[in-house]
Structure formats: C-alpha cells, structure tokens
C-alpha cells in the first residue's frame, strides 16, 4: 500500500493563527491558494490553511511536517500514528452511515452505509478517504467512490430517495429528520443483510438516536446505534459520505437528462433561475419530479412567476415553528 501523502486537520482559530505565523515567518515559499488565510511550500510538501479552519498538507514530506512542525508547535499533542490510541474503536468492525443531498433543492436524498474492519479501515485511510465535503471536485468524489466500492466489495448499501418519493414522505412525516431516520434505518438494515454480525452503526448527530431505533425493523434492532458530532472523522462514515455524494451526483445528472436541463447543486440564485425556467416550460408539477418541494426555494420560484403553491397545485408549505421566549414571571 502506498504511503499516505495528503492530510486534512481541523484547527481551532488560535491554532490557525499560530500555523499562519509559522508559514509567514519560517523558511517557506508563499503560495496563492483561493479561500485560504495562508499557504506556503516547504521543500517536500505544500501547506494550505483554509478559512474554514482546515489545514491541508500534501506531498511526500507531509507526514514529517505534521510530526515535526504542526504537532509540537501548533497542536501541542502527538496525533499522527496514534489514531488507534486516540480512538480505539475506529478500526474495530462497524458501519458508518451518512447522507448527501439534504441541502440541495434538486435531486434525491441519498443515504449510504459502509462497513469496515481493521484491514479495510487501514486501506481506506491510506487512500485518503475523508469527509466528502472536503472534496471540492465532483470528479474526484466519483473517482474516490469507485475505489471505495472496489475495496468494500458488497459491504456497503445505498438508499436513494428520489424527489417524488421524498415529497410523498415529507407530506406524511412532516420532518426532514424523520426522513433521515427512516433512510438511515433502511441503509443499516440493507447492509446487515450482507454483514449480519456487524456490532455497531455510527452516524453524524442529526436528531435523537431513538428516531432511527424506532425506524429499524426487528433484524436491525440488535445493532448498537451511535451518533456524534463530526462523525465524518471516522473512516467508515467518511466512506459512506463519499458513496452517498457520488450516488447523488449520478442521480442528479440523470434527472437533468430526463427533464432536458442541467440541474445545479445547492439552493442558490442559479438554482432558482433553472427551476423557474423548468416551471415555465413544463408547469409547476415538474418540481414534484425534480425537487424537494418543502424548501422555501419553491415559494421563491413561484413568486417570481406570479403564482403560489395552491394555485400551482403543489403541497402547502411546511409549518415552521417560531420560538417565542417566555416572559419572566413578575
């Protein structure tokens, strides 16, 4: 297995400031990299400090720079090579579960589950499998997903909830978190068909774990469920996030081919413009087939066309709860 040459480390604001000082004051060649607060080149590696708080170190000397500069001068602790000590369960047999498409107006919601044991976990880490949100290129996400699928064999599961099914589920469940719980449960159960002895399932924190527990059928209720913030740091969850993203991108492209338009990701002004054009050409019902209609984007698009959900025959907007602070008792 080739030696790993790319690392992404999350830094606190104070650590970012210290790392930036090191790059600016040390023997480094400055680089211009978009969306960074500082970037530089060392003899055997390149370092980029992104505004998001992520430090990306790449090159054959990346591990040495982290070991001899970042850890002692910025992190003030040894991490590289001690992952198994810091998180002893990371390489133990378990599955990770993650989703893609939740914040995208067009396209499906995709939930994936990926199984790892010690050997698989080490191989995925050597492939630099990490949270899909840190992979900015769609092609890179698709390429890495292919490698992950090859290494996992059949030890993964993908559940794709297309717009028609998603809108139907939201009309009955009235909550994105309930749909997520339902999708997570289906992915877990589908993977348990292939790896029946998997003892644990880990996902990011999106709601009470009991929501998934309630959605599991009998065969899935024996597995230990765990949710935690930033679970994407776990290699199984990271692998699931990439598989889900790749499946979302493939489904979005196919959906666009079927309706004759390139459907953009997210919920930007570009998305609204494409949606408005689709409605003009094919009528408001096209949104039920291509988009997540509970988004406020739906109302904004219809408003630009001088119509409403009711007039367009679309489901009513979900009721959004507004928190009203209670007045202190006198």
Q: Is 329 inside a domain boundary?
A: no
Same domain, 209 and 129: yes
Identify whether the C-beta of residue 189 lies closer than 8 Å to the C-beta of residue 220.
yes
Q: Report the C-alpha gap between 217 and 181 in whole angstroms.
A: 12
pLDDT at residue number 84: 52
What is the structure's pLDDT at 218?
Answer: 64
CA distance 35 to 50: 6
Are residues 144 and 220 both part of a single domain? yes
Q: Do residues 176 and 225 both lie within one domain?
A: yes
CATH number at residue 33: 3.30.310.10
User: Which of 29, 57, 81 is the endpoint of a domain?
Assistant: 81
Q: pLDDT grade, residue 279 (50/70/90)?
A: very high
Residue 176 located in a structural domain = yes
Q: Residue 232 domain-assigned? A: yes
User: Do 99 and 247 have their domain in common?
Assistant: yes
pLDDT of residue 230: 75
Say how many domains are in the chain: 3
Between 156 and 118, residue with greater pLDDT: 156
- For residue 272, pLDDT over 70 is answered with yes
Same domain as 48, residue 145? no
Task: Give SS3 for 23.
Answer: helix
Length of the chain: 330
Domain match, 204 and 69 both: no
Q: Burial letters for 160-170: b for 16+ Cβ neighbours within 10 Å, e otherwise?
A: bbbbeebbebb
- Pick the closest to residue 291 from 256, 328, 246, 239 (CA basis): 256
CATH code at 246?
3.30.420.10
Beta bridge partners of 116: 94
User: Is 109:163 a contact under the CB 8 Å cutoff?
Assistant: no
Do 146 and 214 reside in the same domain of the chain? yes
- For residue 325, what pLDDT is reported? 55
Same domain, 36 and 69: yes
In a domain, 322, yes or no: no
99 and 167 share one domain: yes
User: Which pLDDT belongs to residue 222?
Assistant: 81
Same domain, 112 and 198: yes
| CA pair distance 31, 96, nearest whole angstrom | 36
Q: Indicate if the pLDDT at residue 319 is higher than 70.
A: no
Do 209 and 140 reside in the same domain of the chain? yes
Q: What per-residue confidence (pLDDT) applies to 330? A: 45
Q: So what's the pLDDT on residue 323?
A: 47
Nearest-angstrom CA–CA distance, 197 and 223 = 9
DSSP characters over 117-155: -HHHHHHHHHTT---GGG---HHHHHHHHHHHHHHHTT-
Which token pair is 95?
A: 């599955």
Predicted pLDDT at 320: 60
Q: Tell me what pLDDT residue 80 has.
A: 63
For position 130, what pLDDT does the model report? 83
State the average pLDDT over residues 153-175.
95
User: Alpha carbon 63 to chain centroid distance?
Assistant: 26
Q: What is the pLDDT of residue 10?
A: 86
Residues 73 and 136 in one domain: no
Q: Give me the pLDDT at residue 87, please.
A: 55
**Is 116 inside a domain boundary?**
yes
How confident is the model at residue 328, as a pLDDT?
55
The pLDDT assigned to 86 comes to 44
Evaluate if residue 104 carries a pLDDT over 90: yes
Average pLDDT of span 68-73: 90
- pLDDT confidence of 231, banded at 50, 70, 90? confident
Specify if 21 maps to a domain. yes
From CA 32, how far away is CA 180, in angstroms rounded?
A: 40
Tokens of 319: 């009721």
Query: Is residue 128 scored above 70 in pLDDT?
Result: yes
Q: Sheet holding 29-30: strands in order across?
A: 6-10, 54-58, 46-50, 36-41, 29-30
Whole-number pLDDT of residue 63: 86
Q: pLDDT tens digits for 3-53?
A: 678 888 889 999 999 999 999 988 899 999 999 999 999 989 999 999 999
- Which DSSP state fits 74? I
pLDDT tens sequence across 186-215:
999 999 999 999 999 999 887 667 788 888
pLDDT of residue 89: 62
Residue 151 sits in which domain range?
94-251
Flag whether pLDDT at 312 surpasses 90.
Answer: no
Tokens at 300, concatenated: 């904004």
Inside any domain, residue 25: yes
Q: Burial, 117: exposed, middle or buried (Cβ in 10 Å; 0-12, 13-18, 19+)?
A: middle
In a domain, 137, yes or no: yes
Q: Which residues of 20-46 are buried (b: 16+ CB within 10 A; e: fewer)?
A: bebbeeeebeeeebeebbbbbebeebb
Sheet of strand 156-161, all strands in order from the earlier edge strand to the far edge: 156-161, 109-116, 94-100, 200-204, 224-228
Whether the per-residue pLDDT at 294 is higher than 70: the answer is yes
53, 81, 109 - which closes a domain:
81
pLDDT tens digits along 248-261 = 999 999 999 999 99
pLDDT higher at 2 or 105:
105
Asked whether the predicted pLDDT for residue 85 surpasses 50, the reply is: no
């Amino acid at each position: 297995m080739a030696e790993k040459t790319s690392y992404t480390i999350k830094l606190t604001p104070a650590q970012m400031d210290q790392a930036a000082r090191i790059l600016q004051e040390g023997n480094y060649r400055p680089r211009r990299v978009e969306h960074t607060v500082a970037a530089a080149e060392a003899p055997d590696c390149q370092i980029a400090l992104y505004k998001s708080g992520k430090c990306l170190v790449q090159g054959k000397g990346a591990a040495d720079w982290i070991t001899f500069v970042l850890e002692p001068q910025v992190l003030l602790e040894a991490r590289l090579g001690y992952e198994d000590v810091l998180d002893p369960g990371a390489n133990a047999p378990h599955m990770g579960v993650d989703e893609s498409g939740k914040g995208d107006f067009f396209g499906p919601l995709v939930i994936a589950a990926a199984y790892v044991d010690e050997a698989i976990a080490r191989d995925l880490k050597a492939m630099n499998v990490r949270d899909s949100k840190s992979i900015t290129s769609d092609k890179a996400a698709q390429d890495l997903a292919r490698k992950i699928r090859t290494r996992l064999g059949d030890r993964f599961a993908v559940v794709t909830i297309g717009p028609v099914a998603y809108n139907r589920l939201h009309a009955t469940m009235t909550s994105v978190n309930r749909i997520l719980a339902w999708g997570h449960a289906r992915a877990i159960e589908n993977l348990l068909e292939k790896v029946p002895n998997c003892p644990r399932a880990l996902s990011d924190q999106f709601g009470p774990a009991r929501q998934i527990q309630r959605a599991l059928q009998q065969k899935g209720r024996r597995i230990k469920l765990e949710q935690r913030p930033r679970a994407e740091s776990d290699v199984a969850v990271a692998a699931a996030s990439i598989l889900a993203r790749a499946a979302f991108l493939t489904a979005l492209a196919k959906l666009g081919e079927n309706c004759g338009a390139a459907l953009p990701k997210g919920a930007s002004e570009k998305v609204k413009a494409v949606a408005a054009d689709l409605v003009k050409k094919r009528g408001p019902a096209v949104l039920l087939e291509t988009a997540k209609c509970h988004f406020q984007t739906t109302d904004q698009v219809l408003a630009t066309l001088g119509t409403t959900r009711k007039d367009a025959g679309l489901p009513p907007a979900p009721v959004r709860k507004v928190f009203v602070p209670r007045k202190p008792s006198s």
